[in-house]
Structure 1
């Protein structure tokens, strides 16, 4: 009897987070049952003057992720707000996010990235995976999924990615200053991410980690950065305002022009090489993604658009997650030492991990999960209601309404994650400590989840494992706390500087 009582007490203690979000959901559900469903007009939210002050008077668009937490605190798990001409419903509760996603239909529609689409229409470009919808999106998603989502297909890229990791290690050694200090590590990891993605797309290198980066590659990197900065601004500008203040829109288009030209140049170069091999009677066995796409019968304009968008899709994920991972590990030397021991034990004397090794590194995987919980690369995702009116949390949300899924708020919610601001990777290794499955979804969920997730994760795992086998990572003695900011994506608000000390 005593044994049974202790088991029950242990189970109740372990399930505390689960109980908390179940209680919250029960409150939301009961509120909806006690009263008839409410309209969008009855939903709480800031008035236009106060919302404009929140956006532009206290840090601007860079603090959009913080506004999620403020909205949750002020208005509860759902509220509405207007951003320029766009009215959006914000959802900041994992159970309600699940409700939204379970009603999204066969062809889920993200926020329409209106300025991205406007540019493509202006230039006559086709849509890619990030901008297309409906059957067009489903066709490309199915084709790419065969080579980007199946674990065995992704494992085939580990040798390619390890070559890029080797160049990163050399780059870090060359960049070290006094006492092993490397300044602005995000810039190195950004170039590493782009080089890795390019090697998978083109099966060739573009020089991001060379001692002197080629001018065209450097310009491509600047174009990506500027384009993301301008995305939120151009989406908030109606056509008449773009004509009145043309510079932001012009800069945005110039960035996209160069990115399309850059990708098209590399695609055409690789396909010419394959054609020349075939003309010589040589066997062609392309393993890179552009080759697969070019063999599907898709128009080349569609191939160009998809490859251009895929180049963007994984770079910031890798750069940001690598930077935050090493930042947190430098501040938590005990976790770093345990992780190094895990990698060393699995490798058993080898220096270079393979894709198959990662399955035996649970702390490594938990570390990346915890970093993505604290610093989700995309702090908020969105859906457009397309299947007709839907009911969420007791409110009727009309068709065509934009719904923002506040992932930053849910992943920092104390009711779901105890001590939510603390870096605790082992919370993901405790099977008895349940988390709502929609509380932290950095790569999205379902059909609209990130197509490049598995490749990005593999590149992250291989790089982190190698770095920890080469260096002890310590904080910059003169550095302080680094916080995140929103730049369409979530990025460090200032440079992360770290010491890389030889083991």
Structure 2
């Protein structure tokens, strides 16, 4: 039998545990309340849950689309919380220009979510801020120009890679295949030739593994476990889940970059700069002994990794959307091919010089970017000082999310916003630039690879349609369903690349 003393002790332990838990909950709620003390004139928004913010209202499947109902309710400037981070959603071209251009100096930094801090710290080109970001961006832009950005030499690399991609697709003999890794490999080879000084064969197993790792991290960062990590990083370190899988995959990608750097060091000649890594090693040598310099090996690893990721994922995903739209809109594909045949023919090599002579093809590529919507809410910024926008007070530390989805589907800007329509970029048969078209963002942190991406999209797309007609496989339906990740990509599918007569 249990003694009275033992029973009392057991009851006390239970009550004591409950008191501790209740005290902890009250403490966390109070901490959350005081942390959230915001100006009286702060933008309105939907109510949020402590710690989780508005996560459960947005969900994981299509948060960028769910968000639009709140635009209708609260207007073009409203507040939410992402992983308990005070956030303001900015919609409409005038307000987007206001925060990213006119007051861009207030919103030039990136917010550092726990999962980003765990993987990138504050290094590289994408996640660095302040003076370090300025130094890294300036150096990278100069180096990219030195290695052909905007020059004929780089265009020749893209043309050569387009030829390799065509050969790889010809091997499929018009039968259904998944174009994902072939396109990834081709696009990645351009930035790899600049960063690492080499391209990789499509049969290279090690490089194929790197491309699969890249696809995995793009997908996993939007998982439920990663959202939990951003909310409770210290707790989630001890809880199993896909966030740990993500960290392991990031480490493998970093190891790949590190091996490339070590290989360069073995035969490095400061007087013969072959690629980005060589140029960075030379810059590190200039700053050797300067403890405050941002040019160190860890930054080299992350800058090279940023170039590899950004130079692969966005353009290759856009090209996958492009081929999918062509297969779903054969009448548009025929018009593109007719323009290619008229301006270039079926055997001459494509160059960016032909873009001015091919307004319809250029319009189609832009419409793919508009409809593909691969970075639907832009890359977020964070305010470095208290800022007033549209009469609202936004305190320092507020995260700024610019609503590119609404901008690119705004019925005031686009005649048929939800329909694939190249006429959006045409006027009297000529290509028409649109101010409300911002796939590369705008302002101080506009995508530094914009010029490269435009050249790649034009040469790869026109070269492929010069040689093939893209069709759905027999008895298979293609759809525009998407997969959420860091980017929005088509779901896995097969397509037929039928050689043109």
Q: Paired residue for 1:111?
A: 111
For 1:165 and 1:434, the matched residues in 2 are separated by 27
Tell whether 2:473 aligns with 1:476: yes
The 3 A distance-change label for structure 1 pair 296 and 107 is: farther
| 8 Å CA contact retained: 1:111, 1:384 | yes
Q: Aligned runs of 1:338-349 on 2, under 5 Å?
A: 338-347=335-344
TM-score by length of 2: 0.80
Q: Paired residue for 2:57?
A: 54
Q: Paired residue for 2:383?
A: 385
| 8 Å CA contact retained: 2:187, 2:316 | yes
Q: Paired residue for 1:44?
A: 45
| 8 Å CA contact retained: 2:113, 2:230 | no
Q: Aligned runs of 1:215-234 on 2, under 5 Å?
A: 216-232=206-222, 233-234=226-227
Q: Deviations over 1:458-483 (max 9, x none)?
A: 22211111111111122334214222
The 3 A distance-change label for structure 1 pair 50 and 292 is: closer
Q: Paired residue for 1:14?
A: none
For 2:471 and 2:61, the matched residues in 1 are separated by 28
Q: Deviations over 1:338-390 (max 9, x none)?
A: 2223333333564322343334333332222111111222111221111x222
For 1:363 and 1:296, the matched residues in 2 are separated by 44
Instruction: List alignment gaps of at least 5 residues for structure 2.
Output: 1-38, 285-294
Q: Deviations over 1:72-131 (max 9, x none)?
A: 23322222222222221111222111111121217711232442222345xxxx710011
Q: Deviations over 1:427-479 (max 9, x none)?
A: 21228998872x33111112211112222222221111111111112233421
Q: What CA RMSD, in Å, does the superposition of the two structures yield over aligned residues?
A: 2.8
For 1:205 and 1:151, the matched residues in 2 are separated by 15
Of 288-297 and 467-476, deviating more is: 288-297
The 3 A distance-change label for structure 1 pair 107 and 46 is: closer
For 1:365 and 1:434, the matched residues in 2 are separated by 10
Q: Paired residue for 2:334?
A: 337
Q: Paired residue for 2:256?
A: 262
For 2:319 and 2:246, the matched residues in 1 are separated by 27
Q: Paired residue for 1:426?
A: 423
For 1:366 and 1:434, the matched residues in 2 are separated by 8
Q: Aligned runs of 1:2-401 on 2, under 5 Å?
A: 39=40, 41=42, 43-48=44-49, 51-55=54-58, 60-101=59-100, 102-105=102-105, 108-121=108-121, 127-148=123-144, 153-155=149-151, 156-176=153-173, 180-207=174-201, 209-210=202-203, 213-214=204-205, 216-232=206-222, 233-234=226-227, 236-275=230-269, 284=272, 286=274, 288-297=275-284, 298-347=295-344, 350-381=347-378, 382-386=380-384, 388-401=385-398
Of 410-419 and 100-109, deviating more is: 100-109
Structure 2 counterpart SS, 1:118: helix
| 8 Å CA contact retained: 2:150, 2:451 | yes
For 2:215 and 2:425, the matched residues in 1 are separated by 32
For 1:349 and 1:120, the matched residues in 2 are separated by 46
| 8 Å CA contact retained: 1:149, 1:454 | no
For 2:107 and 2:254, the matched residues in 1 are separated by 26
For 1:205 and 1:152, the matched residues in 2 are separated by 16
Q: Give 1:149 deviation, angstroms.
A: 6.4
TM-score by length of 1: 0.80
The 3 A distance-change label for structure 1 pair 303 and 53 is: closer
For 1:42 and 1:428, the matched residues in 2 are separated by 34
For 1:95 and 1:436, the matched residues in 2 are separated by 14
The 3 A distance-change label for structure 1 pair 345 and 273 is: farther
Of 147-156 and 407-416, deviating more is: 147-156
For 1:160 and 1:434, the matched residues in 2 are separated by 28
Larger radius of gyration: 2
The 3 A distance-change label for structure 1 pair 266 and 434 is: closer
